[in-house]
Amino acid sequence: MKLAQRYNRANLITSFIILTITGVIYYIAIHFILTGKLDKDLVIEEKEIEAYARNNGKLLSPGDFLHQKVTYQKLTTGQTIERNFLYAEFYNEDEKEIEPGRSLITSVNINGQNYQVTISKSRAESEDLIQLIFMITLAVTILLLVSLLLINRFVLQRIWSPFYSTLGMMKAFNIAQKEEIRPQLTKIDEFNELNKSANAMAARVRKDYRELKNFTDNASHEMMTPLAIINSKLDSLLQTGTFSSEQGALIENIYTAIGRLIKLNQSLLLLAKIENKLISDVQDIDMQQLARDKALQFQELFEKDRLTLEQEMQPCNIRMSKYLADILLNNLFSNAIRHNHSGGSIEVVLRAGLLTISNTGKSEGLDNQLFERFSKSASSEGTGLGLAISKQICTLYGFTLTYQHLENRHQFLVKF
Amino acid sequence: MKILVIEDEESLRESIVVYLKGEGNICEVAGTYWNAMEKINLYSYDCILLDLTLPGGDGLKILSEIKNLNKTEGVLIISARHSLDDKLSGLEMGADDYLVKPFHLSELKARIMAIVRRKNFSGSNLMSFNEINLDLLAMEVRIKEKLVTLTKKEYDLLIYFISNQGKVITKNAIAEHLWGDEIDMSDDFDFIYTHIKNLRKKLVEAGAKDYIRSMYGVGYKLENV
């Protein structure tokens, strides 16, 4: 549930309850006040009747009253009447209809004879008043609720829009990209604070990430110099004299290990560079030509393991860095060779927008981790970075690189 | 051939100098920016090896100084920075080649030889080793006037050998030279043996002596017999 919705609901329910209760109290209070006023009027009439009877020794004629009706009834001796206010019907002779009324029943004594006196007054006016007040209250209630709803809907939406814009930017936040969280300008302190915190956090995360990356980058760079020295010293060592085949084998082992270390370092640097988008020689690449060149370049390696290569190529032009296109194909080709078995086959199919390289190899499929860094089978002699680099290259250009194990073949698909 | 090695890492500089010296080659060294500036202003060389990260200044500035002086030296940049931008700006500023550290000394020598060849013989580009003669423009190999047909890789291999004559070249270096160092090859370079065997066979069949020898299982050497 959205905050606004939640707030709206609470707001509306509370407003409704309070307004209803107020309405009821209002109604009761006004009813009480108006009844009190009617009763007071009735008492004035009663006093008048009593005064007239006392002074004149007779009853006032019922016809002498305006807006109210008075009836007399002779009481038998000893019968007493309790003075009492009550609600009764009132017959309006002008309008010839029965209206709600209020009556006062009392008694008056004239010359020892008791009379019951009933004074009635119409309540129509006060009822009308109550009704009017009720209608106004209802109208106000409805108006208030509607305006609350509208305020919530439009004003709240506008007030919260900086929040949603910040949220959107936080969602889209990419650690590797340089774009900052640029919040909508707002006068609301909380949102400004949120934006400030979000930006501070982003900056901190970026800084940590950058430091980590710089560290990797620098470490790899720094390692290159000693590696270059070892490599050159080995080359020099080899020229110094005669070695036995045993020594030769040792030197070769060192070369191999150094070669792997160099390769690993270069791969790490390359990964960092792709991530930082530092490779910019984007150009039109004729994939068909490039794939053919690669097949030719790898020819000797195919022959070495007696692999057969099947090619089916259609024209396909891609916009990307030549350097990275080279590396992508190199990685996929060497992968297909490396994880093949002797006498196996490699199939390269290029169609517009799709490159498939499949190879024979181990019977079981590979797990999903294969695109992760340093994920490699125990028997693999590679750096474990080849596929991670390939994936990164594809991600950089919005291509997708997927793997599937189909009919006992390992298949890598690049959708351009 | 007179070569100036501008490299601040003493150990690496020394290896390079030892490898390049001999066969009438003279090497001079410079370890700092100012030292290098002084040398390029005072002397002339056939080829200058230029490291880009030097104490005292940027190697690219030395390159522009060389160009400002209208010097004709070939410049080979050797850099630890495997950066495409550096490479492009270096080549744009007039460097002849760009080699990323770490490299094999045999690769360095081959590149230097190629640069010097291009600089010195701007017309016919010939190379020879005893009775083996190469016409680099026509991409032809002749032995005593007899044309030898080589594949592209065998031809490249022969040039590589002649450039590094008398030196042991490792299988690793040969593989990288012929197939490029971007290829994540298996660590088993024995498949190179086939190519070397074919090259030797073709040369011997055409009447040349067998100059290429296998060295301790690590690599090969082309030398006078």
pLDDT digits (tens, 9 = 90+) for B110-168: 999 999 888 876 655 788 888 999 988 888 999 988 899 998 889 999 999 999 999 99
pLDDT category of residue B24 using cuts at 50, 70 and 90: confident
Q: What percentage of chain A exceeds 70 in pLDDT?
A: 96
Type of residue at B32 = T
- CA of A206 to nearest chain B CA: how many angstroms apart? 23
Output the CA–CA distances (angstroms, integers) from residue A98 to A63, A115, A122, A123, in the order listed.
19, 26, 9, 11
Residue B157: per-residue pLDDT: 93
Whichever domain contains B141, its CATH number is 1.10.10.10
The answer to whether residues B97 and A226 touch, using CB atoms and an 8 Å cutoff, is no
* Domain shared by B61 and B79, yes or no: yes
Is there a contact between A229 and B9 if contact means CB atoms under 8 Å apart? yes
Interface of B with A (CB under 8 A): 9, 11-12, 15-16, 18-19, 80-85, 88, 101-106, 153, 167-168, 170-173, 179-180, 182-187, 191, 194-195, 215-219
* Domain shared by B99 and B172, yes or no: no
Residue A356: per-residue pLDDT: 93
- CA of B37 to nearest chain A CA: how many angstroms apart? 23
Tell me the chain B residues in contact with residue A244 when contact means C-beta distances shorter than 8 Å: 216
Q: What percentage of chain A exceeds 90 in pLDDT?
A: 15
How far the first Cα of chain A sits from its last, in Å, is 40
Tell me the chain B residues in contact with residue A228 when contact means C-beta distances shorter than 8 Å: 9, 12, 80, 101-103
Whether the pLDDT of residue A278 is over 80: the answer is no
Distance of alpha carbon A56 from alpha carbon A54, whole angstroms? 6
Residue B35: per-residue pLDDT: 93
Q: Are strands B26-30 and B47-51 parallel, antiparallel or unpaired?
A: unpaired
CATH code of A282-415, in short, is 3.30.565.10
Q: Please provide the average confidence, as pLDDT, over all residues in chain A.
A: 85
Is there a contact between B103 and A304 if contact means CB atoms under 8 Å apart? no
Question: Residue range A375-381: average pLDDT?
Answer: 70
Q: Which residue of chain A is at minimal alpha-carbon distance from B181?
A: A263
The residue to which tokens 């109210």 are assigned: A68
Residue B141: per-residue pLDDT: 92
- CA of B144 to nearest chain A CA: how many angstroms apart? 30
Tell me the chain B residues in contact with residue A304 when contact means C-beta distances shorter than 8 Å: 191, 194
Is there a contact between B103 and A278 if contact means CB atoms under 8 Å apart? no
SS3 labels along chain B: CEEEEECCCHHHHHHHHHHHCECCEEEEEECCHHHHHHHHHHCCCCEEEEECEECCEEHHHHHHHHHHCCCCCEEEEEECCCCHHHHHHHHHCCCCEEEECCCCHHHHHHHHHHHHHHHHCCCCCEEEECCEEEECCCCEEEECCEEECCCHHHHHHHHHHHHCCCCEEEHHHHHHHHHCCCCCCCCCCCCHHHHHHHHHHHHHHCCCCCCEEEECCCEEEECCC
Tell me the chain B residues in contact with residue A243 when contact means C-beta distances shorter than 8 Å: 215-216, 218
Is there a contact between A233 and B15 if contact means CB atoms under 8 Å apart? yes
Give B167-225 pLDDT, tens digit per residue: 999 988 898 888 877 665 655 677 788 889 999 999 999 988 999 999 888 899 999 88
* Domain shared by B83 and B189, yes or no: no
Q: Which residue of chain A is at minimal alpha-carbon distance from B178?
A: A297
Type of residue at B119 = K
Give A193-229 pLDDT, tens digit per residue: 888 888 888 889 888 888 887 787 778 778 888 999 9
Whether the pLDDT of residue B109 is over 70: the answer is yes
* Domain shared by B138 and B109, yes or no: no
Q: Are strands A97-110 and A282-286 parallel, antiparallel or unpaired?
A: unpaired
Output the CA–CA distances (angstroms, integers) from residue A393 to A317, A397, B185, in the order listed.
16, 7, 20
pLDDT category of residue B80 using cuts at 50, 70 and 90: confident
Question: Residue range A283-312: average pLDDT?
Answer: 88
Tell me the chain B residues in contact with residue A263 when contact means C-beta distances shorter than 8 Å: 184
Residue B1: closest CA among B17, B9, B13: B17
Tell me if the bond preceding A162 is cis, omega within 30° of 0: no
Question: Which domain covers residue B21, as residue numbers?
Answer: 2-120
Residue B111: per-residue pLDDT: 93
* Domain shared by B218 and B177, yes or no: yes
Type of residue at B109 = K
Type of residue at A271 = L
Give A9-43 pLDDT, tens digit per residue: 888 888 889 888 888 888 888 888 988 988 898 89
Residue A222: per-residue pLDDT: 82
SS3 labels along chain A: CCHHHHHHHHHHHHHHHHHHHHHHHHHHHHHHHHHHHHHHHHHHHHHHHHHHHHHHCCCCCHHHCCCEEEEEEECCCCCCCCCEEEEEEEEECCCCEEEEEEEEEEEEEECCEEEEEEEEEECHHHHHHHHHHHHHHHHHHHHHHHHHHHHHHHHHHHHHHHHHHHHHHHHCCCCCCCCCCCCCCCCCHHHHHHHHHHHHHHHHHHHHHHHHHHHHHHHHHHHHHHHHHHHHHHHHHHHCCCCCHHHHHHHHHHHHHHHHHHHHHHHHHHHHHHHCCCCCCEEEEEHHHHHHHHHHHCHHHHHHCCCEEEEEECCCEEEEEHHHHHHHHHHHHHHHHHCCCCCCEEEEEEECCEEEEEECCCCCCCCHHHHCCCCCCCCCCCCCCHHHHHHHHHHHHCCEEEEEEECCEEEEEEEC
Distance of alpha carbon A403 from alpha carbon A410, whole angstroms? 7
| A265 token code pair | 């370092």
Distance of alpha carbon A324 from alpha carbon A397, whole angstroms? 10
- CA of B16 to nearest chain A CA: how many angstroms apart? 7
Distance of alpha carbon A384 from alpha carbon A363, whole angstroms? 20
* Domain shared by B116 and B21, yes or no: yes
Residue A176: per-residue pLDDT: 66
Residue A274: per-residue pLDDT: 85
Q: Which of A224, A235, A330 minimises the CB distance to B104? A: A235
Tell me the chain A residues in contact with residue B80 when contact means C-beta distances shorter than 8 Å: 221, 224-225, 228
Residue A390: per-residue pLDDT: 92
Residue A381: per-residue pLDDT: 67
Is there a contact between B191 and A304 if contact means CB atoms under 8 Å apart? yes
Residue A288: per-residue pLDDT: 92
Mutation target among A220, A231, A232, A252 for the B interface, most CBs of B within 10 A = A232
Domain boundary among B91, B120, B149: B120
* Domain shared by B28 and B55, yes or no: yes
Residue A65: per-residue pLDDT: 66
pLDDT category of residue A230 using cuts at 50, 70 and 90: very high
Residue B112: per-residue pLDDT: 93
Tell me the chain B residues in contact with residue A376 when contact means C-beta distances shorter than 8 Å: none
Question: Hey, where are the domains in chain A?
Answer: 3-144, 190-275, 282-415
Question: Residue range A48-60: average pLDDT?
Answer: 84
Residue A1: per-residue pLDDT: 67
In this structure, how many other beta carbons lie within 10 angstroms of the beta carbon of residue B96? 20
* Domain shared by B149 and B179, yes or no: yes
Give B4-16 pLDDT, tens digit per residue: 999 999 999 999 9
- CA of A308 to nearest chain B CA: how many angstroms apart? 16
Q: Which of B106, B183, B194 minimises the CB distance to A235? A: B106
Mutation target among A233, A238, A245, A331 for the B interface, most CBs of B within 10 A = A238
Domain boundary among B120, B139, B158: B120
Output the CA–CA distances (angstroms, integers) from residue A40 to A45, A125, A129, in the order listed.
9, 16, 18
Q: Which of B12, B168, B187 minimises the CB distance to A232? A: B12
Whichever domain contains B42, its CATH number is 3.40.50.2300
Is there a contact between A300 and B12 if contact means CB atoms under 8 Å apart? no
- CA of A212 to nearest chain B CA: how many angstroms apart? 19
Residue A54: per-residue pLDDT: 84
* Domain shared by B16 and B108, yes or no: yes
Distance of alpha carbon A181 from alpha carbon A194, whole angstroms? 11
CATH code of A190-275, in short, is 1.10.287
Residue B110: per-residue pLDDT: 93
Residue B74: closest CA among B22, B121, B17, B8: B121
Backbone angles phi, psi at A18, to 5 degrees: -60, -45
How far the first Cα of chain B sits from its last, in Å, is 24
Tell me the chain A residues in contact with residue B196 when contact means C-beta distances shorter than 8 Å: none
Domain boundary among B74, B93, B120: B120
* Domain shared by B146 and B202, yes or no: yes
Question: Residue range B91-120: average pLDDT?
Answer: 89
Question: Residue range A346-354: average pLDDT?
Answer: 91
Whether the pLDDT of residue A256 is over 90: the answer is no
Is there a contact between A330 and B183 if contact means CB atoms under 8 Å apart? yes
Is there a contact between A239 and B167 if contact means CB atoms under 8 Å apart? yes
Distance of alpha carbon A65 from alpha carbon A71, whole angstroms? 11
Tell me the chain A residues in contact with residue B101 when contact means C-beta distances shorter than 8 Å: 224-225, 228
| A136 token code pair | 């106004």
- CA of A238 to nearest chain B CA: how many angstroms apart? 6
Whether the pLDDT of residue B82 is over 70: the answer is no
Tell me the chain A residues in contact with residue B102 when contact means C-beta distances shorter than 8 Å: 224, 227-228, 230-232, 258, 262
Is there a contact between B217 and A252 if contact means CB atoms under 8 Å apart? yes
Q: Which of A251, A297, A303 minimises the CB distance to B179? A: A297
The residue to which tokens 């006032």 are assigned: A60
Distance of alpha carbon B212 from alpha carbon A67, whole angstroms? 140
Residue A271: per-residue pLDDT: 85
* Domain shared by B131 and B209, yes or no: yes
Is there a contact between B153 and A300 if contact means CB atoms under 8 Å apart? yes
Tell me the chain A residues in contact with residue B153 when contact means C-beta distances shorter than 8 Å: 300
CB pairs under 8 A between A and B: 133
Q: Which residue of chain A is at minimal alpha-carbon distance from B8?
A: A225
Domain count within chain B: 2
Is there a contact between A337 and B170 if contact means CB atoms under 8 Å apart? no
* Domain shared by B81 and B168, yes or no: no
Distance of alpha carbon A324 from alpha carbon A273, whole angstroms? 11
Tell me the chain B residues in contact with residue A279 when contact means C-beta distances shorter than 8 Å: 84
Lowest mean pLDDT among A60-69, B27-36, B196-205: A60-69
> In which region does residue B217 sit, left (phi positive, over 0), alpha (psi from -120 to 50) or beta (all else)?
left
